[in-house]
Structure 1
Amino acid sequence: MVKIPISRDNSGRKAVNSSNHGMFGDIKKPTDLRGMKFGLKNSFNFKKFLLITIPILVMVFILASLANWYRDYQNNKQIESEVPIQIKEPKDPKIIEATSTPEEIVEEVEKVTISETETGWLNVREGAGTSYQVIIKVYPNESYVLLDETEEWYKIELEDDQTGWIFKEYAIKQ
């Protein structure tokens, strides 16, 4: 049990005595105040009172409480709630036990190898057809990842995440 020093104001209402901070104990629980309506004051001077509604997520650490009065540990403010603040205990993190190590999945990648050509190289084009721009030349015995294919063309992966199309007649699918 936490002992909270109590005093009375001129009207006889009870208030938490803020002059002796050491007596508040060690209750420091984070609490979400979003959407709640409060009376807010820097001290328990009942003449200085501001009624506010918290529009956004505000976390306070409750140091002490009495009825609907709370002391915010971080900001050293006194607040009064229309209803008692529900202090939620943090949930224990779920512990997941691994029963076995998952097998590594190896995806089969199809490749094509460039065949010998009359010119000693093969044009790689932007699209599947001779009307497309040549972007690079590839050479016999080089292998590339096969991405797609049409009836006459292979789409291959080049360096730097580039792609291009080569004529099927000059490549062997692996």
Structure 2
Amino acid sequence: MNPKRIAELQGRRIAFAQGGPEGFKLVKLTPPVSTERYRKRGEILWYPTNMPFRYASAPLLINNDGETHFTKLGQLLEHVKRETWVAAFASRFRSSRKCLPPPVANQIMSIYDRMESEAESSVFAETYVDALPYVPAEFDEDRLDVYKSIKTRLRRPRSCKGIKPPRSC
């Protein structure tokens, strides 16, 4: 995410799609986010910070049979020239930061929010690895410590040429 444009996301809801053997799933739709800009990075934050769906339980964005929980989203993919529905989704939304057309966005928000509010706690990830379709070969078990370390580094003032920053940095 370009830190110079991070403020454009202020107040938006961000969708996290996860691909896997069952197609693309919507593992998380955030509440409206706030943004923070650092020197070379941007960060989005939201509250409450509840966990995403497990991949197996997440609402289906699209599979290769064209099945979806979100019919208006499927209509957006009809004109994408790819061999499969999953490929069409990947092509259309790869690293996308554009807002969806209001009818599509409203349907996704409505269905996701309903499914999230009606879901039992067992369908939500306990760790972020649970939101993946499979366990990766390697993963960071200390995500919170890594996050805090990165935040500390981002907030440090830059040193001048050849001058070391004070010890408190």
TM-score, with structure 2 as normaliser: 0.18
Answer with 1 or 2: which has the greater Rg: 1
Q: Which structure is higher in RCO with an 8 Å CA cutoff and minimum separation 6?
A: 2
